[in-house]
Structure 1
Amino acid sequence: MCYYNNYIYFDSAPLVTLLRDKFSFQLNNDPTISTTKSGTIIDAIFTRYIDNVQSQMYVSYFSYHIPIITTIPIEQNDNKTLE
């Protein structure tokens, strides 16, 4: 059985390891928290070279899927002149 998009199974570990080792992708969400009502984990947020990314669950009342929202804080620039 192939669980390529269900990150709760150890079958997905080689993919996560490959993405980390070869491409410097880091898994940004917790792979042990289910993202569907049936207990599967079909979402994986990978980042590279970004340290301040935050991923968290988003409440959806109309789906069996529990979406993940990812935010990246942006610094405000008070300098309004263009150079």
Structure 2
Amino acid sequence: MRVRANGTDREKHMASKAEKIVAGLGGIENIEEVEGCITRLRTEVVDPSKVDEAALKAAGAHGVVKMGTAIQVVIGTDADPIAADIEDMM
């Protein structure tokens, strides 16, 4: 893996993926809570109608589970670092 002065390529990729997932969840202001859980991002959103499943899948999600304002985004083993990136944005 190449390392650059301002972070690794993987870190940049993860940050970019986190930004796309935030957009798919309706923006940072729509996210009340986020938690990484093995292969899923467990989120609580303000307005579930703002969640764009197609955008989440385009960002790399394998699936989306909606239960009212609770949204689970299935993204694989990167769930924890992506959750941390999203928390940093909040």
TM (norm. structure 1) is 0.28
Larger RCO (CA within 8 A; separation ≥ 6): 2
Name whichever structure is richer in helix by fraction: 2
**Which structure has the greater CA radius of gyration?**
1
TM-score (norm. length: structure 2)? 0.27
